[in-house]
Each structure stands twice: as C-alpha cells, then as structure tokens.
Amino acid sequence: MATIFSRIIAGEIPSYKIAESDKFFAFLDINPMAKGHTLVVPKQETDYIFDLDDDLLAEMTVFAKKVAAAIKLTIPCNRVGMMVIGLEVPHAHIHLIPIIKEGDMSLANPRVKLSKEEFEEIAEKIRDKVE
C-alpha cells in the first residue's frame, strides 16, 4: 500500500505544494512547527532516508537547499533548520523549519495552527521564490 506521501505526490490527497522535480516533491507540513515548515520527499518510496542510493540522497539535499532558500526569503527567520526523524511516516523525508533560535526545533513545542487560506498564501509565496 502506498504511503500517505506517495498518495500526496500522486495527487490523491491534497497538499500545499511548494516545488516538484522528476525525483522530489516539497509541500507544507499540515501540522507545522512554524509557518513555512516544509517536507521534502523523494518520489521513490523508501522508508529510511539512509537506504536511499547515495546519488539520490545527495540530489535530495540539493533540492532541499533550493526550497530552504525560498523559505528563508519568504518567512522571517534567522535560519532554516533541517531535521530528519523518519518515524512518523514510512517514507524518507526532510523537515525544513524556519527558526529564530535552536529551541524552535524542539518537538515538544506546540504546533502552529493555520487556516486553509494561510497555508495557501504561504505556499504560493514560497513557491514563487523557488529557483
């Protein structure tokens, strides 16, 4: 059975898409740690990120870098933090989270609540800056 991320990539489940290539897909996390919190996933369904082929993992990091640059241009922050946990969904993914300080990356922090309109506006603004 396809993972939820594969279903999002296929368009079976709606998402707030940020960027897409032939190998990767980036979209806003619907339970964000901060405005602009984005997930980057390979289209190849692989559970553990370190099981990805070395070249694909390197390409994924470069794709994530482009998305992170667009996030930083859009969302006021000091940095865009990168986190890989990989337990919540059995599909490799990178979290890109706009942060002001290190503590902003804590999983214990309350999640940000956004309306559909806010998600759409954020996605559009970031998407417009992805190169």
Give the residue numbers marked as catalytic.
Answer: 93
What are the angstrom distances between the C-alpha of 24 and each of 2, 68, 78, 88, 111?
16, 14, 26, 19, 25
3-state secondary structure of 84: coil
- Rounded Cα–Cα distance for residues 49 and 40 (Å): 11
